[in-house]
Amino acid sequence: MLEAGLCSYVMISYGQSGRSGDSMMQVLAALSGDDVVYGHFGAAGGYALAARRAMHEFRTGPKTWKQIAVGQRKWANLNPRAMMCGRAMTGEDYDRSPLVVEPFRLADNCLVTDGGRACIVTTLERARDLRHPPVVLMGLGMHHPSADLAGARYLAGPTGARRAGATALRMAGITLDDVDACEIYDCFTYTVEITLQDYGFFGPGEGEDWFRGGTIEPGGRMPVNTSGGQLSESYQMGLTPLTEGVMQLMGRCGERQLGPATGNRTPEIILCSDNGGILQSHACYILGRG
Amino acid sequence: MTYGKPLPKIYADAREFREGCLEHELRIQKCGGCGHLRWPPAFLCPRCLSRDTQWVRASGRGTVYSYAVYHVAFDEAFKGDLPYVVALVALEEGPHLLTNLVECDPGAVSCDMAVEVVWDDVTESVSLPRFRPAAG
């Protein structure tokens, strides 16, 4: 629409008062439908089913997920806007976190927050005249492999991330080696693992080793969810990864800005994801410095 | 004593299933066009889009595709059941059904274990299929 000249600016926005109101509970109640008769509520139960199946099919579990939760919390502690800023999490803290829906502990769950986000899209020509450096959409892929949980036979992968990721990389004309950082939709720790696994960063069951040693943390070789993400910054649906990817490429992230200060490369290309239902729908998009 | 937990909503696509439950029969849909056995119920086949829908009786046997153990009651009515097990059961006919695993220690559940249906008449007009470890 922008390139055709039908409009000049598109705003992608999201806002909710999930923490102070009941809007998130309403969303989750609608998601569960008649499954509530079995005591199955919201997203935690559905993703717990996915995570448990993954534990059955390949080597994964709390040892892998702990590294995601702890790693993202380190980013949140560099982000004054993050809900969990100032609240460090150690591996022991994760282990002591109460079970919610097993195999998930509280620390595996994203936050419920009040807040809002917006991102404005326009033509590259117009963006070049604006105050901040432009960020371009290099590639996009989507795949929606099932309509509901009952139809999902792939909860341990490959999820929609496999095809969506390959499509986005092809459109961008790059490989994973060109990616400087990832902003991954992280409703639960397992979502981060299965998404990166399906994109091809590591093979099934290799996540525990891949994450080890602070891979995704400040100074790590593949920074992931550099705002703290939905686990530790704020849950704003797909806007959490989107706005962070854009802000990092613009160089507007303050103390957590990827670059010499965090011990990371200054990013040229950031891979982002979005995800819906219980792994029913997936979008992968690749952002680049314009 | 009244049943304090949520009850299934009444909708046309699932009427045959709910009526089957009252007779302790697990009924699933079969496409009259391509033969695809499906769950959840729908007015057309997700494979071939045929509206020719039949109902068939499932055996009530299956395996656990996955399971989750609830340690938090998101609805107060389930507090007394904690910890309880929600499972996706792969029926031997093919479809996956979300249900509970009962008559089993949550710590003893595993993926792919064999299970069978057990009927829970929760009210006069609603019976719910739950599953337990298969006998023998």
Residues A131-147: tens digit of each pLDDT: 999 999 999 999 999 99
Write the DSSP string, A80-141. Answer: TTSTTTT----HHHHHHSPBSEET-BGGGBPP--EEEEEEEE--HHHHTTSSSPPEEEEEEE
**Pair of tokens at residue A91:** 């591996």
The 10s digit of each residue's pLDDT in A237-279 is 999 999 999 999 999 999 999 999 999 999 999 999 999 999 9
Residue type, A97: S
A9 is catalytic: no
Residues of B engaging A, defined by a Cβ cutoff of 8 Å: 5-9, 14, 39-40, 46, 65-75, 78, 81, 83-84, 86-88, 95-100, 106, 110-112, 128, 130
> 């929600």: which residue's tokens?
B86
Residue A3 scores a pLDDT above 90? no
What residues form DSSP beta bridges with A10?
A121
Of residues B40, B83, B99, nearest to A38 (C-beta): B99
* Alpha-carbon dihedral angle through residues B54, B59, B61, B62, given to the nearest 10 degrees: -30
- E strands, chain A, are 10-17, 101-102, 114-121, 135-143, 181-183, 269-276, 281-289
Count of H helices and E strands in chain A? 10, 7
A185 is catalytic: yes
- The percent of residues in chain B predicted with pLDDT above 70, rounded, is 99
Structural domain of A121: 10-289
pLDDT of B63 reads: 98
Assess contact for A161 and A273: CB atoms under 8 A. Answer: yes
pLDDT of B22 reads: 96
- How far apart, in Å, are the Cα atoms of A224 and each of A45, A133, A172, A195? 25, 22, 20, 12
Q: What is the mean pLDDT of residues A83-112?
A: 98
Which of A25, A37, A60 would best serve as a mutation to test chain B binding (most B beta carbons within 10 A)?
A37
pLDDT of B11 reads: 85
Q: What is the mean pLDDT of residues A151-164?
A: 96
- Whichever domain contains A250, its CATH number is 3.40.47.10
CB proximity A38 to B under 8 Å: yes
Residues within 8 A of B (CB atoms), A 141-180 only: 147-153, 155
B133 vs B136: CA distance, rounded Å: 9
Assess contact for A273 and A163: CB atoms under 8 A. Answer: no
Which of B5, B79, B86, B122 would best serve as a mutation to test chain A binding (most A beta carbons within 10 A)?
B86
What residues form DSSP beta bridges with A27?
none
Whose CA is closest to B5, among B115, B64, B84? Answer: B84
**Pair of tokens at residue A245:** 């990817």
Whose CA is closest to B93, among B29, B45, B12? Answer: B29
Q: Which helix (H) or strand (E) holds A30?
A: helix A23-32
The 10s digit of each residue's pLDDT in A26-63 is 887 778 889 999 999 989 999 999 999 999 999 999 99
A84 CA to chain B: closest CA distance, Å? Answer: 22
> 């996540």: which residue's tokens?
A207
Whose CA is closest to A37, among B99, B119, B1, B88? Answer: B99
Query: Across the beta sheet with A181-183, what order do the strands follow?
Result: A135-143, A281-289, A269-276, A181-183
Q: What is the mean pLDDT of residues B67-72?
A: 98
Q: Which of A94, A190, A199, A235 is catalytic?
A: A235
Q: Which helix (H) or strand (E) holds A241?
A: helix A239-250
pLDDT of A215 reads: 98
Question: What is the rounded average pLDDT for all residues in chain A?
Answer: 96
Domain assignment present for residue A1? The answer is no
Assess contact for A21 and A113: CB atoms under 8 A. Answer: no
- Computed from CA positions of residues A110, A45, A239, A275, in that sequence, does the dihedral angle turn out positive or negative? positive
Question: Is there a cis peptide before residue A134, judged by omega within 30 degrees of 0?
Answer: no
- How far apart, in Å, are the Cα atoms of A184 and each of A51, A59, A118, B34, B110? 17, 21, 18, 39, 30
**Pair of tokens at residue A147:** 């309509």
pLDDT of B10 reads: 81
Q: Which helix (H) or strand (E) holds B64?
A: strand B61-70
Q: What is the DSSP letter of A188?
A: B
CB contact under 8 A, A150 and B8: no
CB contact under 8 A, A48 and B83: no
Nearest CA in chain B to A42: B74
Which of B44, B66, B96 would best serve as a mutation to test chain A binding (most A beta carbons within 10 A)?
B66
Residue B1 scores a pLDDT above 70? no
Question: What is the rounded average pLDDT for all residues in chain B?
Answer: 95
CB contact under 8 A, A38 and B98: yes
CB contact under 8 A, A155 and B78: no
CB contact under 8 A, A56 and B98: no
Question: Is there a cis peptide before residue A158, judged by omega within 30 degrees of 0?
Answer: yes
Domain assignment present for residue A153? The answer is yes
Domain assignment present for residue A155? The answer is yes
B99 vs A288: CA distance, rounded Å: 45
Domain count, chain A: 1
Q: Which helix (H) or strand (E) holds A42?
A: helix A42-57
Give the strand pairing for A181-183 and A269-276.
parallel
CB contact under 8 A, B100 and A39: yes
List CB contacts (< 8 A) between A40 and chain B. Answer: 68, 86, 98
